[in-house]
Structure 1
């Protein structure tokens, strides 16, 4: 359920939940389905599945099929006194060794042997994070030197190619061609 430490970018843990809950239980593997998301996860689908977004416009394309978060953020919030483990912030894939927040929009992440996801934007941390652990929202929302908001809740993506992803799988980063476009909340 949680992968071993190793060299290079890798998957640390995978999670899914068929219900709309904040945290997702760890599983031994997840199956990514092209254009759909994670098999058996409540956020899978071609159109938006996030409840507040469905209420606004259920026909929007689902740019949030797979949520990835970097385990390094758990280390960062631990220094502020919070204890967060993989899956607890609602992510499907917990990574280590990839600067997810620094990737440009459109980056393709190769997960394991065959799965590929395309990064669509930043997760916008919400009040549910404080419901999980009071004060945690402030720890995952910071301010950059220029005063802009830093969202540290991971990235969202769509599935380009299906496959099985397990803890310990390697990750390869494929940057998009052209001028890099910074990530925006989706």
Structure 2
């Protein structure tokens, strides 16, 4: 188990159905090229329902969703109480600045290895889960919260002010294994030049 002052897993969650939130569990099993056993988003091809409607033959770049537990602290300061799995993430981490990592970063968690593919783009469903919650996970670079979803492509807001997406990162499974709360997280950056994470 990890030293809890170092990067580690706080919680793991999954759900067989396509619902907004996922259910915290004792452990999840990751399978290379597929995702998480028993999770609705597992598959080699895209599983996200809106993306399936657009093109069901896209590769699945969203097999695993990770969120930093530090976001829950920020949410609490803004009046929202969140728990692991509430925002649909599979792995809740602590001590890892997920949003600052470049595309292609490898995260080793237990025996499993994940490769980061991009950012989660928060959608309007987040306000259906908790009214006004979108402003916690979507802001502008100048710190002004957004009240409506950002475009899923590109990074500029009106007036060319960058949109900051805080709803976690997406990954694919490079090497399978079991992941449990307490497992340490080690970070392996790709070769430079680094490319920032973009919405996927």
Query: Is the pair's TM-score, using the shorter chain for normalization, greater than 0.5?
Result: yes
TM-score by length of 2: 0.89
Partner in structure 2 of residue 56 of structure 1:
54
Sort the Cα spacing of 1:4 and 1:25 in 2 relative to 1 into closer, same or farther, 3 A. farther
Q: Secondary structure at the match of 1:14?
A: strand
Q: Is the 8 A contact 2:2 2:183 kept in 1?
A: no
Q: Give the count of matched residue pairs.
A: 183
Task: Output aligned runs, 1:103-182, within 5 Å.
Answer: 103-112=101-110, 114-145=111-142, 147-182=161-196
Q: Residues 13 and 4 (structure 1 numbering): CA distance in 2 closer, same or farther, change over 3 Å? A: farther
Report SS of the residue matched to 1:180. Answer: coil
Partner SS, residue 42 of structure 1: coil
How far did 1:7 drift?
2.0
1:4–1:12: 8 Å Cα contact kept in structure 2?
no
Q: Out of 17, 27, 30, which is 2:15 matched to?
A: 17
Q: Describe the SS at the equivalent of 2:30.
A: strand
Deviation per CA, 1:4-24, whole angstroms, max 9, x where unpaired? 981200000000000000000
Distance 2:128 2:22 in 1: 15
Aligned to 2:149: none
Q: Tell me how far 1:138 sits from its aligned partner.
A: 1.2
Secondary structure of the structure 1 residue equivalent to 2:18: coil
Residues 80-103 of structure 1 show CA distances to partners (whole Å, capped at 9, x for unaligned) of 000111000000000000000000
Query: Which segments of structure 1 move beyond 6 Å, counting only runs of 4 or more?
Result: none
- Structure 1 gaps of 5+ residues are none
